[in-house]
Amino acid sequence: MEKPEIGARQREELTTALKTAKSKEEYQRALCLWPRADQAMGSRQIAKMLGMSFGGVRNIHSKYLRKGAKILTNVPIGGRLESLIYSRADSDMMSFFLKQISDAFTDESVVIFMDKAA
């Protein structure tokens, strides 16, 4: 099976990512992709050169080819716990939802929950 090519635009993205990396993880991801883009190195060679596992290198290559440059930064991708956390700016929205819940349910436990949240 032939490896998908990394084009000139992606090479520029990787160069920029190497220069602007803000953490070790971001730098490692970009560094892991650079030899493949520049010299068409295989995953095993890159893993050996960087001291990484073969599977880790393959995962980074695969994610980059599927999702693009957004994997190069440490931006949280969300998930079930991320969606439950809200900032102080959203507190008005949270109180709105709590009011809607308390209006819908007249159960005493909801009222107690609202008092603790407020």
Residue numbers of the domain that contains 43: 8-72
pLDDT tens-digit map of 35-80: 888 888 889 999 999 999 999 999 999 988 888 888 888 766 555 5
Same domain, yes or no, for 60 and 91? no
Same domain, yes or no, for 91 and 68? no
- From residue 3, give the alpha-carbon distance in Å to each of 38, 62, 68, 72: 14, 11, 16, 20
pLDDT of residue 8: 79
Domain count for the chain = 2
Q: Could you give phi then psi for residue 116, rounded to 5 degrees?
A: -75, -35
Q: Has residue 77 been placed in a domain?
A: no
Q: Has residue 19 been placed in a domain?
A: yes
Mean pLDDT, residues 86-111: 62
Contact between 57 and 47 under an 8 Å Cβ cutoff? The reply is yes
Q: Has residue 109 been placed in a domain?
A: yes
Reported pTM: 0.59
Q: Has residue 2 been placed in a domain?
A: no
Which amino acid, residue 109? S
pLDDT of residue 79: 58
Per-chain mean pLDDT for the chain: 76
Of residues 31 and 81, which shows the higher confidence score? 31
Sort 71 into a burial class: Cβ within 10 Å, 0-12 / 13-18 / 19+. Answer: buried
pLDDT of residue 59: 92
